[in-house]
Amino acid sequence: MEINHIYPQIFLQGVDQQTLGNSVIIDVREQHEWDYYHMEEAKLIPMGQIPHRMGELPEDADIYLVCAHGVRSLRVAEFLKENGFDRVINVDGGMAAIAMFRGVQYD
């Protein structure tokens, strides 16, 4: 199964220039990670809650997935693809890479 990926700098350009359309950004980290640093544009749905909260995800829009370093979000992308969501995109490097490109200390 092929999962779509996006480089963090390209993702951030899309966010900053508002060219991601009607897409959603889902942060699959835990609450304490979110509290430390997060993107205002994202919605928090921790990885373990995804199976119970799939009804909150659009089936007709791109879903960008982020976590700390891109590993959990990749697993969530695979799970969503297996469950009929075709428009999932993993943000490579996760919030660590996003923070780096935004000049924020993370980790």
Give catalytic status of residue 67 as yes or no.
yes
Which of 15, 24, 26, 67 is catalytic? The answer is 67
The single residue listed with the structure tokens 């993370």 is 106
- Phi, psi angle pair for 88, to nearest 5°: -105, 140
22 CB-near residues (< 8 Å, 6+ apart): 58, 61
CA angle 107, 4, 54 (to 5 degrees): 80
Closest among 35, 10, 24, 8 to 100, alpha carbons compared: 8
Which positions are catalytic?
Answer: 67
